[in-house]
Structure 1
Amino acid sequence: MIDDEAVDALGEEILDWRFKSVPASAHGSTVREHARARRPLDEYGTPLMTLDAGALEHNLRVMAGWTEAAGVRLAPHGKTTMAPQLWRRQLEAGCWAITLANLPQLRVARAFGVRRVLLANALLDPAGLAWLSTELEEHPEFEFISWVDSVRSAELMDEALRAARAQRQVDVCVELGGPHGRTGARDKSEAVAVAEAVRKAPTLRLVGSGGYEGALAHDSSKEGLAAVDTYLRRLADLHGRLPYETDEPIVTAGGSAFFDQVVEILGDFGGQVVLRSGAYIAHDDGFYRQISPFVRGAAPSGDDDARLRSAMHGWARVVSRPEPKLALLDAGKRDLPFDEGMPEPQLVRGAGPSPVASARVTALNDQHAFLRDADVEVGDIVRLGLSHPCTAFDKWTLIPVVDDADAECPVVVDLIRTWF
Structure 2
Amino acid sequence: MAHSPSSSSFDAKGCHKGTLETGDRLLADVSLPAAVIHQAPLAHNLAWMQDFARRHGAELAPHGKTTMTPALFRRQLEAGAWGITLATLPQCRAAFAEGAQRLLVANQMVGQANMAIAADLIRAGAELYVTVDSAENLDQLGAFFGAAGISLNILIEVGVEGGRCGLRDDDEVMALARRAATLPGIALAGLEGYEGVVHGDDPVAGIRRYAQRLVDGVKRLADEGLVDRDKPIVTASGSAWYDLIAEAFRDGGLEGRFTPVLRPGCYVVHDHGIYREAQAGVLSRRQDLHQGLEPALEVFAQVQSLPEPGLAIVALGKRDIGFDLAPEVLRRYREGGQASELLSVEGWQVVKQMDQHTFIQLPDSARDMRIGDVLAFGASHPCMTFDKWRQLHLVDDALRVVDTWATRF
Q: Distance in 2 between matches of 1:322 and 1:224?
A: 46
Shift of 1:363: 2.2
1:266 pairs with one of 233, 237, 249? 249
Q: Distance in 1 between matches of 2:178 and 2:310?
A: 64
State the match for 1:16 in structure 2. Answer: 10
Q: Is 1:331 equivalent to 2:316 in the alignment?
A: yes
The answer to whether the Cα contact below 8 Å between 2:131 and 2:154 also exists between their aligned partners in 1 is: yes
How do 1:22-101 and structure 2 match up within 5 A?
27-29=17-19, 34-101=20-87
The answer to whether the Cα contact below 8 Å between 2:56 and 2:247 also exists between their aligned partners in 1 is: no
Q: Distance in 2 between matches of 1:130 and 1:19?
A: 28
Q: Distance in 2 between matches of 1:295 and 1:15?
A: 47
State the match for 1:235 in structure 2. Answer: 214
The answer to whether the Cα contact below 8 Å between 1:313 and 1:383 also exists between their aligned partners in 2 is: yes
Q: Distance in 2 between matches of 1:21 and 1:391?
A: 21
Q: Distance in 1 between matches of 2:14 and 2:362?
A: 29
User: What secondary structure, in the 3-state scheme, does the structure 1 residue paired with 2:108 have?
Assistant: coil
How do 1:196-207 and structure 2 match up within 5 A?
196-207=178-189
One-letter code aligned to 2:71: Q
State the match for 1:6 in structure 2. Answer: none
2:115 pairs with one of 123, 126, 129? 129
Aligned residues: 384
One-letter code aligned to 1:92: E
* Structure 1: gaps of 5 or more residues: 1-13
TM-score, structure 2 normalization:
0.87
- Per the alignment, do residues 63 and 250 of structure 1 end up closer, same or farther by CA in structure 2, a change over 3 Å counting? same
Q: Distance in 2 between matches of 1:190 and 1:253?
A: 19
State the match for 2:172 in structure 1. Answer: 190
State the match for 1:108 in structure 2. Answer: 94
Q: Distance in 2 between matches of 1:252 and 1:28?
A: 41
- Per the alignment, do residues 19 and 269 of structure 1 end up closer, same or farther by CA in structure 2, a change over 3 Å counting? farther
State the match for 1:251 in structure 2. Answer: 234
The answer to whether the Cα contact below 8 Å between 2:311 and 2:360 also exists between their aligned partners in 1 is: yes
* Structure 2: gaps of 5 or more residues: 1-7, 335-339
The answer to whether the Cα contact below 8 Å between 2:143 and 2:184 also exists between their aligned partners in 1 is: no
Greater Cα offset, 376-385 or 323-332:
376-385
Q: Is 1:119 equivalent to 2:105 in the alignment?
A: yes
CA deviation vs aligned residue, 1:364-385 (integer Å, no higher than 9, x gap): 1110111113523433221111
State the match for 1:308 in structure 2. Answer: 293
Shift of 1:317: 1.5
The answer to whether the Cα contact below 8 Å between 2:145 and 2:184 also exists between their aligned partners in 1 is: no
State the match for 2:145 in structure 1. Answer: 161
- Per the alignment, do residues 257 and 92 of structure 1 end up closer, same or farther by CA in structure 2, a change over 3 Å counting? same
Q: Is 1:215 equivalent to 2:197 in the alignment?
A: yes
How do 1:170-185 and structure 2 match up within 5 A?
170-185=152-167
CA deviation vs aligned residue, 1:76-120 (integer Å, no higher than 9, x gap): 001111111110110010000000000110110221232111111
Q: Is 1:275 equivalent to 2:258 in the alignment?
A: no
Moved over 4 A (4+): 17-22, 350-354
Q: Distance in 2 between matches of 1:67 and 1:370?
A: 41
The answer to whether the Cα contact below 8 Å between 2:93 and 2:121 also exists between their aligned partners in 1 is: no
State the match for 2:408 in structure 1. Answer: 419
The answer to whether the Cα contact below 8 Å between 2:62 and 2:263 also exists between their aligned partners in 1 is: yes
- Per the alignment, do residues 299 and 354 of structure 1 end up closer, same or farther by CA in structure 2, a change over 3 Å counting? farther
One-letter code aligned to 1:281: V
TM-score, structure 1 normalization:
0.85
Q: Is 1:380 equivalent to 2:341 in the alignment?
A: no
- Per the alignment, do residues 147 and 191 of structure 1 end up closer, same or farther by CA in structure 2, a change over 3 Å counting? same
How do 1:270-419 and structure 2 match up within 5 A?
270=254, 271-292=258-279, 294-298=282-286, 300=288, 303-304=290-291, 307-339=292-324, 341-350=325-334, 355-374=344-363, 375=366, 376-404=369-397, 407=398, 410-419=399-408
CA deviation vs aligned residue, 1:200-256 (integer Å, no higher than 9, x gap): 211101111011001224xxx972222222222222222222221222101000111
1:145 pairs with one of 104, 114, 129? 129
- Per the alignment, do residues 282 and 299 of structure 1 end up closer, same or farther by CA in structure 2, a change over 3 Å counting? farther
CA deviation vs aligned residue, 1:263-282 (integer Å, no higher than 9, x gap): 11132143221000111111
Shift of 1:296: 3.1
